[in-house]
Structures are given as C-alpha cells and as structure tokens.
Structure 1
Amino acid sequence: MTHIPALRHAALSTTLGLALATAALSFSGQAASAAERVDVGLFAPGALSAWESRGFEGETAYRLTGTGATRVLEARCDGTASAIARRVPVDLNTTPVLHWQWRVAGVHQGLDERSKGGDDFAARVYVIHDGGLLKWRTRAINYVWAGSSEAGTHWPNPFTDQAMMVAVQSGAPRDATTWVSESRDVRADFKRFYDLDLDAIDAVAIMTDCDNAGGQATAAYRDLHFAPE
C-alpha cells in the first residue's frame, strides 16, 4: 500500500507518513510520459473530488468561487489548520516545472517561521515524493508565502527533516486582489535540497493554516500544472 505523506503537525513530528489508502483517493491523473502539460488544480470544472482533506487542528475552509474558467480555490483559516491533497503521478523527466498562481489577503507577522510555534503560513503548495512502505524515504518540498522569512530562503521543517520549506514570496502583498504567478523546477529542487535524482513525484497538496498563530488568513489558488519548462 502506498501513502500520501503527512503535511505537518506536532502530533506527526516524527514522520510524514499519512495513512490515506490509495482506494480512498480519486485518481484522475496519469503519469506523464510525453505530455506537454499535467493539470493538477485547474478548479474551473468546479469539482474537488480528486482532492482528499486532512485536518490537523480544526478545518481550514476551502471553497470554489467564481464561474466557468475564472473559478478558483479560496481558503480561509481561523485558528485552524487543514490541507487538501491530490495523488497525481508526475514524470519529472518530461514535465519537471510546477506552475501556479496564488494571492493572499495578508500574512502572519512577527512569527519565527523556523520554529514549531511559528510554522504558520497564509499559503502553501507541497510537492511530495512518497516513500510507500518505507515511509522514512518520503520527502516533501513546501513552497510557502512567508510572513517574515526572506523570499528565496529555505530551511528544514521544524516538525520533521523529511520536508524542506522554501519561501517563494514574503510579506503582505501591495494589492490583495493581484494574482502572483510562480514556477519551480521541482526536479532541480529535489536535487538541490535532498541530493535526489527523482524521476517522479506522487502528490501535490495545498494548505492555508493559522493554528499556531491563532489568527486568521485568507488565500486563493488557481491553475496548478506541470510543464516541460
């Protein structure tokens, strides 16, 4: 049986092994062998059936807003933390670059984000290499919109050394209505942070959390996909 790894919480500090059986998830994507694009989260069709929820401290509210091609995923936490994860195999040899757009209404300020008490972020996007039965081999990279850590910095997750935190954006946005486009070479990042030459990743997750800070945060996500570049 394979497992999607846990995302983060004090109760899960010794492992990323999240006991979600394969049968409990909806598999709508296939590994890309010669694909030009692997869609992970378009959200335009209006369904989250391919995503599995995992609560850590209460529930972050995830909902689809908008209509048609403009539909997006909105997330709001209020002293809570939960994630949604999708198992979708992606061939990193052909489509190594993850693209997405996100926006936040604000950030958690004044936190030591490298500590357990400060491990809260208005927006996170995870990429996960599942170790399967060998759960200690699971590795994750957590791209975050940081509140205080400088953009471009990285550090080990304070709960587990199986996840690396990467600050892609930092600080409150000038305009909370503006979408920010991101792209990361996931294959290169696993090599850089773990010295792993990966051919594939197994899952992607999204989380907006504020259980440690005890405040509120609102974010939105759209157009998550992998491409050759």
Structure 2
Amino acid sequence: MNNQPGLIHAASATTATLLAALMLPFATVAGADTGATHVIGNFSAGNLADWSEQVFKGHTVYQPATIDGRQALSAVSAASASGLHKKVKIDLAATPYLEWSWRTDDILRGIDETTRAGDDYPLRLYVIFSRGWFFWQTYALCYVWASNKPADAAWPNAYTSNTIQLAVQSGEARLGEWLDYRRDVRADIKRYMGFDVDHIDAVAIMTDTDNSAQRASAWYGDIIFSGN
C-alpha cells in the first residue's frame, strides 16, 4: 500500500481532494477488466497491492483483520479522514455489477450528512469516472452507510456536486452484522447522475470521522465487478 499526502490539507475537503488526486493518466493504469469477473479488493486474502492511501486529516487505520471468523480489511477512524484508492479501468458493458460486503459497529450521532460539518461516514465505497482530462470532469458515485439520511436517499456531496452520495444502508438497525450488496453501477450512474458511461477509472473506500470528531470501527469485505 502506498501513502500519498493530501493535495488539500484542509479540515475535510475529502471527496473533492480525492477526485483531484485521481485526475490521472488513466490510460497508463494496468489491470483493465477483460473477463466476466474482476476482483478489485481481495481483502479476504489480506491483499492491498495497488491500493494507495490518500490522507486528508490524520490517518484512518486500515489493516487486515479477522472478525466473526472472516478475514477482511479493518478501518478505525478517530477524528480522522484518510481513504484507500485503486486506479483500475472497468468495462461496465461487460461487468456492470459491483458486489461487496461490509460491517460497522458505529454510526455518527447528531450529524447532517448534507452539510460540510456532517460529511462523515463509517463506510464509503466510491466508483470514479472521468469525462475529460480536467479535474472538474472527474465524477464519483459514492455508496455509503448513512448515519441519519434514510436508505435509498441520494444527495450531492457537501464539498463537490461532481459526487453523489447514495445511502445503501442507514442507521443502527444492522450494526454489528455483515451485509452484502450487489449494484448495477452503470444503471445507478445513469439514474442518479444522468450520465451514460461505459467504464469507470478507479474505486476508493473511506471511513472518516474528522468533521464530527467521533470514532468509527468498520470492516470491508472483497470488492468484485461481475457480468451477471
């Protein structure tokens, strides 16, 4: 895993900075998808190859761990914000389905996720795509476990309208459980962002609590793109 200091070391311009950091020569990225299944995050094997850290405010601690007899990637944030990203081009025509699992023991109390002061999440998973060479042409759809916004709600990120947050889980009802997801990324981008895209250029995960100065413990399972 590579460490990369934040390009903007502000209180929490997290998503805007992440998109700027990933405004890169995507054509040079190895590992473009050509098959029916593409494993992006092989966390069950403790594999963090090709994942890089983006630091915003302090370090969220990411490390392989076992919980409930299951190998995963642990994330512990204590008033911190850093994420992991992987640059990889995925053909959404061939493999549009994103499958992942995650778990958290914590939600963040008393925050409004639509504001900059409340832009914290125990779990985030970004799919990132570019529609040009400039940073303002980089976009992301971010699947989140929301603390207060309801499940299935979608809203612009508090720092950049180029990112849409989509709550696939909300509140404390399923805390302490492993939850599995399968999303049609191409359809979600079309529905929530209005773009018809044929590929994405990167994925990222983040557990952050810098704005609320709270603490969250979370675990990420494998991240896979598949064709059916």
Give the C-alpha shift of residue 16 in structure 1: 2.9
Number of residues paired by the alignment?
218
Distance in 2 of aligned mates of 1:75 and 1:14 = 20
Give the C-alpha shift of residue 71 in structure 1: 2.2
Distance in 1 of aligned mates of 2:88 and 2:142 = 17
Whether the 8 Å CA contact 1:125–1:144 is kept in 2: the answer is yes
**Superposed, which structure 2 residues align to 1:87-106 within 5 Å?**
87-106=87-106
Distance in 1 of aligned mates of 2:122 and 2:184 = 22
Q: TM-score, normalised by structure 1?
A: 0.86
Distance in 2 of aligned mates of 1:66 and 1:10 = 31
Mapped pair 1:134 → 2:134: yes
Distance in 1 of aligned mates of 2:48 and 2:29 = 12
Distance in 2 of aligned mates of 1:77 and 1:28 = 30
Q: Which residue of 6, 16, 19 corresponds with 2:19?
A: 16
Name the SS for the 1:66 alignment partner. strand
Q: 1:96 to 1:13 in 2, by over 3 A?
A: closer
Distance in 1 of aligned mates of 2:16 and 2:32 = 31
Counterpart code for 2:33? A
Where structure 2 has 5 or more consecutive residues not aligned to the other structure, the ranges are 1-6
Name the SS for the 1:29 alignment partner. coil
Give the C-alpha shift of residue 133 in structure 1: 2.2
**Superposed, which structure 2 residues align to 1:34-45 within 5 Å?**
35-45=35-45
Mapped pair 1:227 → 2:226: yes
Counterpart code for 1:214? A
Superposed CA RMSD: 2.7
Alignment correspondent of 1:149: 149
Distance in 1 of aligned mates of 2:17 and 2:84 = 21
Distance in 2 of aligned mates of 1:11 and 1:140 = 12
Name the SS for the 2:160 alignment partner. coil
Whether the 8 Å CA contact 2:43–2:220 is kept in 1: the answer is no
Alignment correspondent of 1:52: 52
Alignment correspondent of 2:213: 214
Identity, % of aligned pairs? 38
Give the C-alpha shift of residue 15 in structure 1: 8.7
Alignment correspondent of 1:3: none
Name the SS for the 2:121 alignment partner. coil
Q: 1:39 to 1:12 in 2, by over 3 A?
A: closer
Whether the 8 Å CA contact 1:14–1:159 is kept in 2: the answer is no
Distance in 2 of aligned mates of 1:173 and 1:50 = 34
Give the C-alpha shift of residue 223 in structure 1: 1.6
Give the C-alpha shift of residue 43 in structure 1: 1.6
Give the C-alpha shift of residue 40 in structure 1: 0.5
Name the SS for the 1:16 alignment partner. helix
Give the C-alpha shift of residue 174 in structure 1: 4.1
Whether the 8 Å CA contact 1:15–1:136 is kept in 2: the answer is no
